[in-house]
Amino acid sequence: MWKYIKLIFVLSCTYEVQCHSLKVSLYYESLCPDCIRFVTKQLFPTYKDIGNDIKLDLIPFGKAKVVNENGKLEFICQHGSSECYGNEIQSCAIALYSVEESTEFIYCAMKSDDPSSDYYLETCANSTGISWASLVKCHTSGQGVELLFENANRTENLQPSLEFVPTVVFDDSFDQTLDDEAIEDLEAVVCKLLRYKPDACKSYFNDEVVLQMIH
Ligand SMILES: *[C@@H]1O[C@H](CO)[C@@H](O)[C@H](O)[C@H]1NC(C)=O
Ligand SMILES: *[C@@H]1O[C@H](CO)[C@@H](O)[C@H](O)[C@H]1NC(C)=O
């Protein structure tokens, strides 16, 4: 039965334009407990299962603000300046490394006792093939701050504006229902939205649902 269904998806993929993989954007911040829970319990497991079928797009910034302090632009983060630092180091990893490497690094940092501590960040860099020196250089050179400004722009340009962290957006179009569902079970939502269902999605589709999809 499943083989037959997969064949249908493959065929419809061949004849339709919409065969692209799904873009999954996550707006979050390094120290918010719900973000930590989401990255470690939803995002990373989903990435491990069906990472090849999604385009992961991580935007560490969240509810931070850019403020003008006597002519100098500064960041104020919800959980203090150490959170801004954690966001910056993650932004550096995203910019400098492959999605595989940066996602492993971010998962490692987010499941550590403190995602803003140099000790854990360096330990995670060491264990995921990322050069800690390159992340430190990204920070000291000012590149990290530039990346945070880009994340600030993207976050501020969200429509409607960001209310909660984490917020999940699929294919650049915010949908409150999908966001709510994704916070509970990201993989189920991704499997629902993907046109071509990878094997890991099989458990989300029992024969009954599949029959309804055919008819
Ligand atoms: C990371 O690796 C470097 C080079 O091997 C080592 O000097 C450093 O102590 C390691 N850092 C941590 C926190 O394990
Ligand atoms: C952010 O947006 C502002 C105006 O919308 C623009 O001037 C600025 O260059 C942008 N910064 C980055 C880093 O994209």
Structure tokens at 191: 């499997």
Burial of 20 (0-12, 13-18, 19+ CB in 10 A): exposed
Candidate of 112, 118, 121, 122 to mutate for ligand 1, largest count of ligand atoms within 8 Å of Cβ = 122
Q: Is 153 in the pocket of ligand 1 (CB under 6 A)?
A: no
Torsion of CA 30, 91, 148, 186, to 10 degrees: -60
Given a contact cutoff of 8 angstroms between Cβ atoms, the answer to whether 65 and 58 are in contact is no
Alpha-carbon distance 91 to 80, whole Å?
Answer: 17
For residue range 57-104, what is the model confidence (pLDDT) as tens digits? 999 999 999 999 999 999 999 999 999 999 999 999 999 999 999 999
Residue 83's pLDDT is what? 98
What average pLDDT does range 162-167 have in this prediction? 96
Atom 2 of ligand 1, residue of closest alpha carbon? 126
Contacts for 101 with CB less than 8 Å, ≥ 6 apart: 93, 128, 129, 130
pLDDT, mean of residues 30-42: 98
Q: Which residue has the higher pLDDT, 195 or 27?
A: 27
Tell me how far the alpha carbon of residue 208 lies from the centroid of ligand 2, in angstroms: 50
